């Protein structure tokens, strides 16, 4: 059974949400893996819009709790929190009431580890089809993440054949995002 938590301070079985996150629990619901798989199957039967609202609510709760905890412990400046998917969603709603994959635009949320606070970088056209300001590539995003983590983006790694390959082929860190 899934139950949405009613308060920001308490999770399940008397643990605060921060304690649940610290011990590496599967979710703020206190679910086992089997419970999570059953919940995923139930969410799959929800209309896309309802599923999105539920998942965004959960993301907001987990993300804000994690960031508050890292800040309170003095760890946010040395921890990079990244929220992103493999691609964006289409501007048009499909026949099922959801949105399809859309590789032209997507959102990435970066917090901590030297990333500027409260910055929105880039913009799209009014329908959300294409970027109109500061288009970046997936390589640029990875380079920015590596830079924030202190990884030299000009370094090389060896592939399976022992050949050196750039750690970020074709990507440049987005300096405007870094403090």
In tens, the pLDDT along 82-119 reads 888 778 888 888 887 777 888 888 889 999 998 998 89
The closest alpha carbon to 82, from 98, 103, 59, belongs to 59
Calculate mean pLDDT across residues 31-46. 57
Cβ contacts of 129-132, under 8 Å, gap ≥ 24: 129/91, 129/104, 129/105, 130/104, 130/105, 131/104, 131/105
User: How far apart are the C-alpha atoms of 40 and 29, rounded to whole Å?
Assistant: 13
Tokens 């304690």 appear where? Answer: 19
CA 57 to chain CA centroid, Å, is: 14
Q: Which is higher by pLDDT, 7 or 62? A: 62
Q: Indicate the angle between helix axes 48-72 and 33-44, nearest 10 degrees.
A: 140
User: How far apart are the C-alpha atoms of 69 and 74, rounded to whole Å?
Assistant: 9
Contact 48, 99 (CB under 8 A): yes
- pLDDT digits 0-9 by tens, 137-172: 989 999 999 999 888 999 999 999 999 999 998 899
Band of pLDDT at residue 9, cut at 50, 70 and 90: very low
Contact 89, 101 (CB under 8 A): yes
Interior angle at CA 103, CA 152 and CA 151, nearest 5 = 10
Contact 111, 77 (CB under 8 A): no
pTM over 0.85: no
Q: What is the SS3 assignment for 11?
A: coil
């Amino acid at each position: 059974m899934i139950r949405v938590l009613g308060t920001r301070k308490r999770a399940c079985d008397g643990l605060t949400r921060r304690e649940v996150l610290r011990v590496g629990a599967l979710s703020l619901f206190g679910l086992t893996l089997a419970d999570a798989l059953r919940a995923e199957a139930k969410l799959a039967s929800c209309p896309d819009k309802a599923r999105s609202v539920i998942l965004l609510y959960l993301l907001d709760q987990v993300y804000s709790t994690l960031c508050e905890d890292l800040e309170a412990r003095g760890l946010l400046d040395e921890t990079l929190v990244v929220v992103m998917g493999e691609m964006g969603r289409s501007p048009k709603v499909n026949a099922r009431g959801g949105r399809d994959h859309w590789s032209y635009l997507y959102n990435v949320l970066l917090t901590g580890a030297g990333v500027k606070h409260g910055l929105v970088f880039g913009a799209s056209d009014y329908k959300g089809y294409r970027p109109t300001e500061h288009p970046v590539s997936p390589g640029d995003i990875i380079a920015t993440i590596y830079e924030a983590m202190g990884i030299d983006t000009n370094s090389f790694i060896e592939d399976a054949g022992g050949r050196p390959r750039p750690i970020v082929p074709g990507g440049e860190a987005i300096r405007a995002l870094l403090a």
